[in-house]
Amino acid sequence: MSLPGGIAVAVDVCYLPGGGARAAAVLASDPLFGVLLAERVVQVAQVEPYEPGAFYLRELPPIRAVLAGVQGLGLLLIDGYVDLDPGGRMGLGAHARAEFGVAVIGVAKTRFATATHAVAVLRGRSARPLFVTSAGLPPGQAADLVRQMPGRFRLPDALRRADTLARGRVPG
């Protein structure tokens, strides 16, 4: 199977203490995030309250806002799960795939008990795996992409940068 074409985007969302959220996106010209094109940050004034089993209702609006106007989206890399169990119970990534119509790779830092289908990926010198799920490309291929993405740490650089931007930890 071929790699997804178009713009690859790593996204993350941070919920602000005073309410609302900040979403960040790192855009690349390739699915390995080897050539970065741009960074985007948006703040959303209001977000839905957390609802167990419906995290996507809280997370998708800020993601939608940071992706507004992105042309040629081909791959979305998220911090979380695509699906929550082998039966396909939809997680954030599956809802993002349904909304944006592109391949989605979910990279989770913690194991979700029912996500027994997630592929464990070790990166860098970390002994703790990431848990990779996907939609729109085979799980093994998604795991290989995550293994090969730039970055010497556990998380690929693109996701680390999106997290940093979303947290507002970048000067100026």
Q: Is residue 32 part of a domain?
A: yes
Residue 1 in any domain: the answer is: no
Evaluate whether residue 172 is within a structural domain.
no
DSSP type of residue 48 = P
Let me know if residue 160 belongs to a domain: yes
Q: Give the CA distances from residue 74 to residues 6, 30, 35, 112, 128, in Å, rounded to whole numbers and listed in that order.
A: 4, 9, 15, 27, 29
Task: Specify if 127 maps to a domain.
Answer: yes
Strand-pair category, 73-79 with 103-108? parallel
The confidence score (pLDDT) of residue 1 equals: 46
How many angstroms separate the CA atoms of 28 and 32, rounded?
8
**Residue 11 domain boundaries:** 7-166
Task: Answer yes or no: is 125 within a domain.
Answer: yes
pLDDT at residue 52 in the model: 73
Look at residue 50 in the predicted model and tell me its pLDDT.
79
Answer for the pair 110, 142: CB distance below 8 angstroms, yes or no: no
Q: What is the CA angle 62-64-70, rounded to 5?
A: 125
pLDDT for the residue 5: 79
Strand runs labelled E in the chain = 7-15, 21-28, 36-44, 73-79, 103-108, 119-121, 130-135
- Token couple for 163: 């997290």
Tally of CA atoms within 13 A in the half-sphere of 124 that contains its CB: 13
- Alpha helices (H) along 30-156: 55-67, 92-100, 139-148
Domain containing 49 — which CATH number? 3.30.2170.10
Say how many domains are in the chain.
Answer: 1
CA distance 134 to 149: 16
Tell me if 13 is assigned to some domain: yes
Question: In tens digits, what is the pLDDT along the chain, a chain of 172 residues?
Answer: 456 779 999 999 999 998 899 999 999 999 999 999 999 999 999 888 877 777 788 899 999 999 999 999 999 999 999 999 999 899 999 999 999 999 999 999 999 999 999 999 999 888 999 999 999 999 999 999 999 999 999 999 999 999 999 999 765 5
Residue 171 lies in a domain: no
